[in-house]
Amino acid sequence: MSKVRRIALLTSGGDAPGMNAAIRAVVRKGIYHGIQVFGIQKGYEGLIHGEFIEMNLGTVADIIHRGGTMLMTARSEEMKTPEGQKNAAAQLRYRNIDALIIIGGDGSFRGAQTISAQGIPVVGIPATIDNDIAGTDMTIGFDTTINTVVEAVSKIRDTATSHDRTFLVEVMGRNCGNIALQAGVACGAESILVPEMKIDMDEIIMKLERGNQRGKNHSIIIVAEGATSAWELGEELRKRTGFETRVTILGHIQRGGSPSAFDVVLASQMGGKAVEVLLEEKSDQMIAYVNQNIVPKPLEEAYGDLKPFNMELYELANQLAI
């Protein structure tokens, strides 16, 4: 029988649709195995300041389909300090917690390793809309966000067509172009600008003019927030082509909403696997999605090398936008 009897979990960093489904899976799988599960509110901030609640079947009822995180989340500066890290581990020890599950991004996993360095096992579940975590093909929330962007762009397309305009749609992703690339392909954008690739203004203009000559009366350019300023780019395009441009920053709408079925299933599988891994008394693991399998991997893979950019999809997107 496993020595793990009491576990805690928290959500950390930017929220992502599907986090609630992951919380539910951890709690129910834990209870199924006779483990006591504690939720920590507001991420590492709540951990450092002792904001624990005991979870039961009822606590996680009716959350599977809800966006956001019922445990709330935070970006904790205190957790970056040795003092904060010491207090975080002390809070867990004080409550006899055997292990901690962290649902979040790579920054949150770094915090986790400072806790495991103090002797408390940790497992990470990758959840961020950015899908920028190395070692896993997908993170919880990414699929929902792509669908949100596609829905928004199809609305923008209606007005773009009616007014014969070029729209620049800025999407999130921090320093990673995965949201822009995937959503750009999914909505058939004319150009997709990502931080991983150099911006070629001549090519963007060539595509716009070529479309215009064919009688195309609208264009959509997807701009990753980390690539460039959509405002400046829009102004430059207007000056150089004479086309009427508009900019839409989608912003935090991309983080909200009910998770897609894919994200709920992914979150449920990852939550379940995280509990199994802890029951096997392993630590410093991340639950990854690799070739459609849910597998544990060393946590440090998440923040070692950068996640490789999908060049093949990027090139295809350019070929399809002729």
Q: Which of 98, 130, 132, 263 is catalytic?
A: 130
- By CB under 6 A, the residues from 206 to 245 that bind ligand F6P are 225
Distance of CA 248 to the CA centre of its chain: 21
Q: How far apart are the first and last CA of the chain?
A: 61
Contacting residues for 206 by C-beta, under 8 A, at least 6 apart? none
* Secondary structure of residue 211 in the 3-state scheme: helix
Rounded to 5 degrees, what are φ and ψ at 271? -60, -45
Nearest-approach distance from CB 210 to ligand F6P, in angstroms = 32
In the bound state with ligand F6P, the residue whose beta carbon lies nearer, of 7 and 171, is 171
Please say if 130 is a catalytic residue. Answer: yes
Choose the binding region for ligand F6P from 23-31, 84-92, 128-136, 187-195 (rule: CB under 6 A). Answer: 128-136
Tokens 């207090």 sit at which residue?
Answer: 87
Nearest-approach distance from CB 282 to ligand F6P, in angstroms = 27
DSSP state of 260: P
Nearest-approach distance from CB 304 to ligand F6P, in angstroms = 19
In the bound state with ligand F6P, the residue whose beta carbon lies nearer, of 39 and 226, is 226
- By CB under 6 A, the residues from 89 to 108 that bind ligand F6P are none
Q: How far apart are CA 249 and CA 257, in angstroms?
A: 17
Q: How far apart are CA 72 and CA 268, in angstroms?
A: 18
Contacting residues for 175 by C-beta, under 8 A, at least 6 apart? 132, 195, 226
Query: Does an H or E element contain 125, and which?
Result: strand 122-126
- By CB under 6 A, the residues from 150 to 179 that bind ligand F6P are 172-174
128 part of the interface to ligand F6P, by CB under 6 A? yes
- By CB under 6 A, the residues from 8 to 67 that bind ligand F6P are 14
Nearest-approach distance from CB 44 to ligand F6P, in angstroms = 15
Which residue in the set 27, 129, 227, 267 belongs to the binding site for ligand F6P (CB under 6 A)? Answer: 129
Binding residues for ligand F6P, total number by CB under 6 A: 9
Which residue in the set 130, 170, 196, 263 belongs to the binding site for ligand F6P (CB under 6 A)? Answer: 130
Nearest-approach distance from CB 177 to ligand F6P, in angstroms = 11
| Closest of 131, 141, 138, 162 to residue 22, by C-alpha | 141
Which residue in the set 207, 218, 255, 297 belongs to the binding site for ligand F6P (CB under 6 A)? Answer: 255
In the bound state with ligand F6P, the residue whose beta carbon lies nearer, of 231 and 243, is 231
* Secondary structure of residue 64 in the 3-state scheme: coil
Q: How far apart are CA 289 and CA 262, in angstroms?
A: 12
Where along the sequence are the contacts to ligand F6P (CB under 6 A)?
Answer: 14, 128-130, 172-174, 225, 255
Active site residues: 130
